[in-house]
Amino acid sequence: MKILGIDPGTQRLGYALITESKDLICCGIIQTFKENSDAQRLAEIRKDLTKLIDHYEPDILSVEKLFFFKNPKTIIPVAQARGVILEIAGSQKIPTYEYTPLQVKQILTGHGRAEKSLVAKMVEQEVNIKEKLKYDDAVDAIAIALCYLRMDYLVVDAAT
């Protein structure tokens, strides 16, 4: 089984594909340019994410759920990116699970208010990562994918 974890964003969207045995298949970011319109950025996310899904054929999609944002300017673009992500998953009938940032921290560290550095440390301990990851967004995507392996009952939309 392959789980695709996604940390949504419009400037940088983190993704990670892991196996049920916690092997990292791939991870990285989908980066868009802020000079582009919102529509162009969302189209780029759609194109790149669809290509990734078509190539790796994940069984499960695990995505960060909007819960609370410190910066109100970012909530709408992130929600728009999530809409694209969920639409792709729905159209390809990939079961989708969502976890809030607090749930991710609680599930991985046992504490919902854990620092990002502790989450990153837990990710490194649980997943077979051969080199230091470049982007926090990719680390977050791995953490979100790991949540499915630990708590697969928080289903949002099971495609059957």
Q: CA 49, 55, 60, 66: dihedral to nearest 10 degrees?
A: -10
Domain ranges of the chain: 2-157
For residue 3, pLDDT beyond 90: yes
**Marked catalytic residue, from 7, 44, 98, 140:** 7
User: Catalytic site residue 59?
Assistant: no
Alpha helices in the chain (DSSP H): 38-56, 72-91, 101-109, 116-126, 136-150
The residue from 44, 64, 98, 140 that is catalytic is: 64
**What pLDDT is stored for residue 72 in this prediction?**
73
pLDDT value for 6: 98
Active site residue 137: yes
Mean pLDDT of 12-19: 97
Which candidate in 44, 98, 137, 140 is catalytic? 137
Looking at domain 2-157, its CATH superfamily turns out to be Ribonuclease H-like superfamily/Ribonuclease H (3.30.420.10)
Looking at residues 100-118, what average pLDDT do you find? Answer: 91
Task: Give residue 152's pLDDT.
Answer: 55
